[in-house]
């Protein structure tokens, strides 16, 4: 293929000159294939966050906490120091790290089951203490890793393996809007809800992650960046259908945008 | 000679923590050990800069320990029985991820919410592994306020030597009683960072990560074998115990911590009455002094094991003596502390009197 002109008339070598570069794997992502299912939002979220870390020059400053969930192996992809936490305990582990190394940039990366079911207490109390780290919260409305059980964020009526007739809010509770809940706490600096279904949203989500790290550098307190995501495999949809579901069902229930911004931003 | 003070067990333990250059304590209040967090909150931060944090639960506390230990820091937590139960998942992760830390269980009566009085019902949980998987805690059992101090320092040394969790298994009586102690001098905070710690990726170097997840069975087995090799080394080199009057002993009283203390008194009363009683007090419960019991068993008529539980350590004594001598057990439960006299009475009735 090398040297042979392709349809647009440029050779491979011509395309590969640095001036033509529009995308490359950030150095903060290891050269390791993601194990995520095709079309899964975890991959996009990893990528944009690592781009932010690289663009801010923080690769030597960051310490992350991986959850139990599909992203349990985040440390196989993210080329920064990481600890793997017990299911739900990422915010406690991050508290331990940040209290020991207050000058480092600390983040957790957690699914909805991890952050808003089994780990609710750790999340709320870390937030309430104003722990100065970032929680990245991947809300796909399902337990991806354990193959599709109901999550705290599963939409009313949504079918999962443990709500086979659709989530019945009378007996199975209502979807937990943990972002709104956390926004009430004085220790929380920044809560925003973003998505990674379409390029426009991906760019916004990336910006939000960058802001959160800037706030952490300024010592403003707990930041939550919720990312409304998908789970094509357990939603039993193609990647495209799943992104359509995000747009048509998830986002109307979980509206995107800032829920709380730091005081100084408001001025 | 270090500073001499009259101190409560829990406060002495806390003071030792500060003096050992501990970097952080994460804990949750529970009787009979709430003095630890209270003492540290008053004393620690302004003296050494140590981080003191009241966690929202013991579950959170042990996971804060995980995070902080993973940064290569010297960290400790304490609790009492129900709280220690909540820490078991975290301890299993800590053992698997090979993170050094010290924790103390100021044992109270159980099961359930139980009682706040002293007990030794958590021996099995501490020694046999209360969490999931094949792991061990190195367990130290103090029987005096002085040992509460000494074992904090020793605990950190062993935790760092073996990269794993060390438990000080004590009880409400030793935690609450006051005794004279000699304190060691203030040690500096640790400055060296082990290469496995997560402190931010160094330029040109690989990232560091801490995990207990080894999804391939072959790798998981290797990790297990590595842990088992550590435990073997502990069995070979870290066994600690105290013995008294073994030379002419025809009978052995044995027990750990508070149980051993009461046994000592019972032994003294027995000796005054002319019984040739010796005493074995395991200081490390894991590793257990198996060889000592094995070697003494053929030389004595009986061993009486005394514990503040239904008979837990006695199982290890039976295993160690391999049927070479008679092993009897006397225990009280629910927070009741046996009197030396009742132990001797039991000894005279069951062993001397030969009743079955
Ligand atoms: C204590 C404990 N309970 C249950 C599990 C099983 N488990 C693993 S991941 C998971 C749910 C993960 O779902 P979520 O946090 O939403 O992450 P996702 O996979 O969807 O990204 C559960 C229940 C576990 N590993 N540990
Ligand atoms: S199971 Fe769902 S969340 Fe997990 S990788 Fe696959 S698509 Fe993503
Ligand atoms: Mg999920």
Which of A143, A175, A227, A229 should be mutated for ligand 1, with most atoms under 8 A from CB? A143
Say what the pLDDT of residue B54 is.
Answer: 98
Residue B193 φ/ψ, nearest 5 degrees: -115, 120
3 state SS of A6: coil
Beta bridge pairs of residue B277: B251
Residues of chain A whose beta carbon is less than 8 angstroms from a beta carbon of chain B are 30, 59-63, 65-66, 72-73, 75, 78-86, 89, 92-97, 99-101, 104, 121-122, 125
Say what the pLDDT of residue B264 is.
Answer: 97
Q: What is the CA(A234)–ligand 1 centre distance, in A?
A: 14
Token pair in block for residue A181: 């809940």
Distance CA(A19)–CA(A14), nearest Å, equals 10
Atom 3 in ligand 1: residue holding the nearest Cα = A87
Q: In which residue are the tokens 């009897």 written? A: B328
3 state SS of A141: coil
Partner-chain contact B23 A100, CB within 8 Å: yes
Element (H, E) at B182: strand B178-183
* Sign of CA pseudo-dihedral A53, A178, A85, A223: positive
Radius of gyration of chain B (CA): 21
Question: What single-letter DSSP state applies at residue B328?
Answer: E
Q: To the nearest whole angstrom, how far is the Cα of A95 from the nearest Cα of chain B?
A: 6
Residue A190 φ/ψ, nearest 5 degrees: -150, 125
Q: In which residue are the tokens 């005081």 written? A: A263
Say what the pLDDT of residue B355 is.
Answer: 53
Residues in chain B: 356
Contacts of A21 (CB under 8 A, 6+ apart): none
Q: Which of A1-5, B46-50, B98-102 has the lowest mean pLDDT?
A: A1-5
Helix, strand and coil percent figures for chain A, each rounded to 5: 40, 20, 40
Whole-model pTM? 0.96
Partner-chain contact A95 B213, CB within 8 Å: no
Q: What is the CA(A97)–ligand 1 centre distance, in A?
A: 22
Give residue limits of the domains in chain B.
3-237, 242-352
Q: How far is CA B122 from the centre of its chain?
A: 10
Distance CA(B297)–CA(B325), nearest Å, equals 5
In this structure, are residues A113 and A151 in contact, taking their beta carbons and an 8 Å threshold? Answer: yes
Say what the pLDDT of residue A4 is.
Answer: 55
Say what the pLDDT of residue A26 is.
Answer: 93
Distance CA(B88)–CA(A183), nearest Å, equals 32
**Is the CB of A87 inside a 6 Å radius of any atom of ligand 1?**
yes
Which atom of ligand 1 lies closest to the CA of A231? 20
Question: What single-letter DSSP state applies at residue A248?
Answer: I
Contacts of A56 (CB under 8 A, 6+ apart): A210, A213, A214
Say what the pLDDT of residue A1 is.
Answer: 41
3 state SS of B93: helix
E strand segments, B51-177: 51-54, 75-79, 101-109, 115-118, 138-140, 165-171
**Is the CB of A190 inside a 6 Å radius of any atom of ligand 1?**
no
Say what the pLDDT of residue B354 is.
Answer: 72
Partner-chain contact B90 A101, CB within 8 Å: no
- Average predicted confidence (pLDDT) for chain A: 95
Give residue limits of the domains in chain A.
24-266
List the strands of the sheet with B302-307, edge to edge.
Answer: B241-244, B277-282, B251-254, B302-307, B326-331
Contacts of B5 (CB under 8 A, 6+ apart): B12, B15, B180, B181, B183
Distance CA(A142)–CA(A155), nearest Å, equals 9
Distance CA(B159)–CA(B74), nearest Å, equals 9
Question: Judging by DSSP bridges, how do beta strands B178-183 and B3-8 pair with one another?
Answer: antiparallel
**Is the CB of A70 inside a 6 Å radius of any atom of ligand 2?**
yes
The share of chain A scoring above pLDDT 70, in percent, equals 97
In this structure, are residues B13 and B80 in contact, taking their beta carbons and an 8 Å threshold? Answer: no
Q: What is the CA(A239)–ligand 2 centre distance, in A?
A: 11
In this structure, are residues A189 and A215 in contact, taking their beta carbons and an 8 Å threshold? Answer: yes
Give the nearest chain B residue to A83 (CA atoms): B210
Residues in chain A: 267
Which of A33, A34, A40 should be mutated for ligand 2, with most atoms under 8 A from CB? A40
Distance CA(A193)–CA(A212), nearest Å, equals 12
Distance CA(B7)–CA(B16), nearest Å, equals 11
In this structure, are residues A58 and A41 in contact, taking their beta carbons and an 8 Å threshold? Answer: no
Using an 8 Å CB-CB cutoff, list chain A residues near B68. Answer: 96-97, 99-100
Top-level class of domain B242-352: alpha beta
Which of A146, A176, A246 should be mutated for ligand 1, with most atoms under 8 A from CB? A146
Using an 8 Å CB-CB cutoff, list chain B residues near A63. Answer: 71, 198-200
In this structure, are residues A40 and A92 in contact, taking their beta carbons and an 8 Å threshold? Answer: no
Partner-chain contact A81 B59, CB within 8 Å: no
In this structure, are residues A150 and A143 in contact, taking their beta carbons and an 8 Å threshold? Answer: yes
Report pLDDT digits (tens) over A205-229.
999 999 999 999 999 999 999 999 9
Q: What is the mean pLDDT of residues A140-146?
A: 98
Partner-chain contact A97 B56, CB within 8 Å: no
- Which residue of B45, B59, B64, B206 is the best one to mutate when testing the A interface, meaning the one whose CB has the most A CBs within 10 A? B64
Q: B3-237 architecture in CATH?
A: 3-Layer(aba) Sandwich (3.40)
B48 to B8, B15, B17, B18, B241: CA distances (angstroms): 21, 11, 11, 7, 33
Top-level class of domain A24-266: alpha beta
Token pair in block for residue A213: 């790290």
Say what the pLDDT of residue A24 is.
Answer: 84
Report pLDDT digits (tens) over A3-43.
555 567 788 888 788 888 878 889 999 999 999 999 999 99
Token pair in block for residue B180: 């004279």
Partner-chain contact B210 A83, CB within 8 Å: yes
In terms of Cα–Cα distance, which of B165, B154, B34 is closest to B89?
Answer: B165
* Sign of CA pseudo-dihedral B167, B171, B172, B174: negative
Token pair in block for residue B149: 């101090």
Distance CA(B155)–CA(B21), nearest Å, equals 13
Partner-chain contact A60 B26, CB within 8 Å: no
Report pLDDT digits (tens) over B292-310.
999 999 999 999 999 999 9
Contacts of A46 (CB under 8 A, 6+ apart): A29, A34, A71, A74, A77, A78
No. of helices (H) and no. of strands (E), chain A: 12, 9
Three-class DSSP labels, B9-43? HHHHHHHHHHHCCCCEEEECCCCCCHHHHHHHHHH
Say what the pLDDT of residue A16 is.
Answer: 82
Distance CA(B309)–CA(B315), nearest Å, equals 12
3 state SS of B140: strand
Q: What is the CA(A38)–ligand 1 centre distance, in A?
A: 20
Distance CA(A189)–CA(A183), nearest Å, equals 8
- Asked if ipTM goes beyond 0.90, one says yes
Report pLDDT digits (tens) over A27-85.
999 999 999 999 999 999 999 999 999 999 999 999 999 999 999 999 999 999 999 99
Partner-chain contact A80 B207, CB within 8 Å: yes
Inter-chain contacts counted by CB atoms under 8 A, chains A and B: 127
């Amino acid at each position: 293929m090398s040297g042979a002109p392709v349809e647009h008339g440029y050779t491979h070598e011509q395309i590969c000159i640095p001036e033509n570069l529009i995308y490359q794997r950030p150095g903060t992502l290891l050269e390791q294939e993601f194990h995520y299912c095709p079309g899964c939002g975890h991959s996009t979220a990893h990528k944009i966050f690592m781009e932010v870390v690289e663009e801010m020059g923080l690769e030597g400053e960051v310490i992350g906490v991986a959850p139990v969930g599909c992203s349990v192996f985040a440390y196989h992809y993210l080329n920064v120091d990481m600890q793997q936490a017990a299911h739900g305990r990422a915010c406690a582990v991050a508290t331990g790290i940040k209290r020991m190394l207050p000058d480092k940039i600390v983040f957790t990366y957690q699914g909805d089951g991890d952050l808003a079911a089994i780990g609710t207490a750790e999340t709320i109390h870390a937030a309430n203490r104003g722990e100065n780290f970032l929680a990245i919260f991947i809300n796909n409305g399902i337990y991806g890793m354990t193959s599709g059980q109901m999550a705290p964020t599963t939409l009313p009526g949504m079918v999962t393996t443990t709500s086979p007739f659709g989530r019945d809010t009378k007996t199975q509770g209502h979807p937990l809007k943990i972002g709104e809940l956390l926004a009430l706490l004085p220790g929380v600096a920044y809560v925003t809800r973003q998505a990674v279904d379409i390029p426009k949203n991906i760019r916004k989500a990336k910006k939000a992650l960058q802001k959160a790290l800037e706030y952490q550098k300024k010592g403003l307190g707990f930041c939550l960046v919720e990312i409304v995501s998908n789970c094509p495999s357990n939603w039993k949809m193609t990647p495209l259908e799943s992104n359509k579901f995000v747009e048509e069902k998830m986002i109307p229930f979980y509206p995107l945008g800032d829920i709380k911004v730091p005081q100084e931003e408001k001025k | 000679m270090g500073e001499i003070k009259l101190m409560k067990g829990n406060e002495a333990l806390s003071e030792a923590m500060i003096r050992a250059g501990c970097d952080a304590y994460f804990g949750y209040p529970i009787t009979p050990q709430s003095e630890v967090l209270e003492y540290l909150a008053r004393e620690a931060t302004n003296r050494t800069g140590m981080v003191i944090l009241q966690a929202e639960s013991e579950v959170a506390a042990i996971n804060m320990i995980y995070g902080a230990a993973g940064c290569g820091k010297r960290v400790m937590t304490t609790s009492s029985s129900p709280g220690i139960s909540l820490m078991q998942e975290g301890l299993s992760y800590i053992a698997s991820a090979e993170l050094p830390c010290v924790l103390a269980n100021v044992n109270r009566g159980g099961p359930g919410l139980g009682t706040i009085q002293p007990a030794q019902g958590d021996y099995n949980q501490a020694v046999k592994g209360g969490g999931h998987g094949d792991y061990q805690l190195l367990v130290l059992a103090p029987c005096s306020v002085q040992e509460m101090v000494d074992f904090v320092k020793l605990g950190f040394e062993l935790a760092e030597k073996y990269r794993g969790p060390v438990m000080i298994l004590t009880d409400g009586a030793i935690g609450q009683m006051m005794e004279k102690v000699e304190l060691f001098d203030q040690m500096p905070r640790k400055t060296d960072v082990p290469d496995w710690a997560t402190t931010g990726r160094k330029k040109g170097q690989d990232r560091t990560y801490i995990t207990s997840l080894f999804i391939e069975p072959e790798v998981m087995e290797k990790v297990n074998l590595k842990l088992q090799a550590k435990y073997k080394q502990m069995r070979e080199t870290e066994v600690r115990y105290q013995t008294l009057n073994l030379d002419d002993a025809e009978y052995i009283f044995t027990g750990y911590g508070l149980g051993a203390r009461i046994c000592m008194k019972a032994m003294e009363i027995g000796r005054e009455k002319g019984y040739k009683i010796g005493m074995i007090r395991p200081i490390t419960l894991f590793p257990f002094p198996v060889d000592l019991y094995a070697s003494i068993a053929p030389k004595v008529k009986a061993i009486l094991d005394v514990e503040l539980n239904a008979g837990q350590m006695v199982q290890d004594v039976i295993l160690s003596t391999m049927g070479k001598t008679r092993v009897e057990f006397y225990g009280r439960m629910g927070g009741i502390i046996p009197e030396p006299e009742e132990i001797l009475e039991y000894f005279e009735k069951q062993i001397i009197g030969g009743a079955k």
